[in-house]
Amino acid sequence: MSEIKLEYLSALEIGELVNSRIITPTEVLKYFEKRIKKRNKSINAFTYTRFDLAYIEAKKLEERLEHGENLGVFAGVPFGLKDFLPSKKGWTRSYGGVKCLVSMDEYDSLFCEVMEQEGGIAVGKTNAPSYGFSGTTDNKMYGVTSTPFNPLYNAGGSSGGSAAAVADGLLPISEGGDAGGSIRVPASCCNLVGFKAGFGSIPLFSRPDAYSASHPYCVSGGLVKTVSDAIALYKLMAKVEPKDPYNNMVLRQNEDIDGYINSNQALRIGFTYDFDLFEVDEEVKKIVYDAAKRFIDKGYIVEEVHFNFKHTANEFSSLWSKGITIDCALDINHQKEKGIDYFKDHLEDFPEEFIYYKNVCDHLGIEDLYEFNLARTDILDNFEDVFKRYDLILSPVTCCLPVKNNPKGFTKGPEEINGKSVDSLIGWCQTYLVNFVSYPAISIPAGLASHNLPVGMQIIGKRFEEKMVLKAAKDFEEIKPWRDNYSIPFNREIK
């Protein structure tokens, strides 16, 4: 056990060791607890841990092992949960560091549920921006989360705590949720794999409004080091759920994901630096372009494509911000009807951008809904025009390198790139376009830039073609492996 460096292993690899009785769940927990105690302070990935409960679960798993059971593919694997929406019954959440909203989780998230079914052990909650309302992770309650590749820079958002924990070897896998890039952006900033399935394949439980997760389309998932882990997690989370009105897995439950991923089929990729919308840093352009060309080694066709959007990037990002705020604004207003006025009594707990968009949403009308749907139609038509000729669309994940942390707090994205104005909330991310229209997409590491900063490459697939996206990611991982990059944060001196 002492010779095994668990921080270098994937979740599946640790699960295999536990099921093979090479290491025990308790030994795994002790190993990662020691790393968290030593290293978390430098990156601030966790809001809290619950190892007291984790060791109880480890003993239960060991009893099952003694009876000859196979615990599941994530046997004994410690995992983190995003401190945002409910994710572990009886634990607490803060909606991303909003002090007045701290409350107890009423149920387990689907990620937590499938991880525990497969032998995983929840160990704590990870940091996120308030209401997941930013491409960076920083909030008033818990502060900033850094990428372990260079702690002066942000881990990305909104699943930044989860990404930082996995990238620094504090955990092999952690929860994420993606409504505009919240899995893919932190994956890019932390040299990870972040897969966002197409809307409808992974069930969502939105109540009292079962239809609320569609403006923009929100999807649950996780942050991992390898494509194999991403595939395994997707296969567990994608399931039939009649109470999700958007669930479409009943149409696809017999598809052969593994067979397709392991096939020799070469695909056609349409490459774009910027969707003819975004300003992009030259270093990001070069790294992603060089990475994209590597697909040719697998027989893929890679050609540059262009888009003709009717809207500007700032118009799209503003509409996204309105859309993501609607349900949060409704929740606050409904609490006011119950006599709880958060904005009157606790306004200081909320970030100013959320306050602004919440007030905007309170005055939206039917013409605003029409404008929102015109924008997503614009995106849909442009994407489908490209998908007539190509299997996949490839782009940078973000328009710039990871953002430098603001020592005063309230870290946001850049206000300009190449001298052009940029929406600092999410306008520097090339991910949120996909959430308007529900396609599957993944972020995989493209390479390291100056100051050891990771750069991610986004692969977008057609609707219902998760397996095609995962195949391309797996093929690229074989061409240009990225696991050796983790030696940089793992070997970083912790003072």
Residue 459 C-alpha from the chain's centroid: 14
What is the per-residue pLDDT across 67-98, written as a single tens digit (0 to 9) for each?
999 999 999 999 999 999 899 999 999 999 99
For residue 358, name the pLDDT band (cuts at 50, 70, 90): very high
What average pLDDT does range 482-495 have in this prediction? 93
Residues 490, 191, 223: CA angle, nearest 5 degrees: 95
Q: How far apart are CA 217 and CA 210, in angstroms?
A: 13
What average pLDDT does range 236-248 have in this prediction? 93
Sign of the CA dihedral with 472 first, then 156, 272, and 275 last? positive
| Residue 220 to residues 179, 181, 196, 278, 293, Cα–Cα distance (Å) | 9, 11, 7, 26, 30
What average pLDDT does range 191-198 have in this prediction? 98
Maximal C-alpha separation, the chain: 65
Angle between helices 366-387 and 313-337 (to 10 degrees): 140
pLDDT of residue 252: 82
In contact, 229 and 114? CB cutoff 8 Å: no
For residue 35, name the pLDDT band (cuts at 50, 70, 90): very high
Q: How far apart are CA 308 and CA 427, in angstroms?
A: 18
pLDDT of residue 168: 98
Residue 16 C-alpha from the chain's centroid: 25
Percentage of the chain exceeding pLDDT 90 = 92
- Structure-token match 């105690």, residue found: 37
Q: How far apart are CA 242 and CA 239, in angstroms?
A: 10
For residue 1, name the pLDDT band (cuts at 50, 70, 90): low
**Residue 267 pLDDT exceeds 70:** yes
Q: Domains for the chain: give ranges and CATH numbers.
A: 6-490 (3.90.1300.10)
**Token pair recorded at residue 352:** 């100013």
For residue 214, name the pLDDT band (cuts at 50, 70, 90): confident
86 prior amide bond cis, ω within 30: no
Q: Which residue has the higher pLDDT, 212 or 200?
A: 200
Q: Across the chain, what does the average pLDDT equal?
A: 96
Nearest Cα residue to 185 out of 338, 395, 330, 18:
395
pLDDT of residue 250: 79
Q: How far apart are CA 154 and CA 147, in angstroms?
A: 5
pLDDT of residue 2: 57
For residue 255, name the pLDDT band (cuts at 50, 70, 90): confident
Percentage of the chain exceeding pLDDT 70 = 100
**Residue 251 pLDDT exceeds 80:** no
Question: How many CA atoms lie less than 13 Å away from 413 in the CB half-sphere?
Answer: 29
- Count Cβ atoms below 10 Å from residue 385 Cβ, excluding itself: 13
Its pTM stands at 0.98
Q: How far apart are CA 125 and CA 216, in angstroms?
A: 25
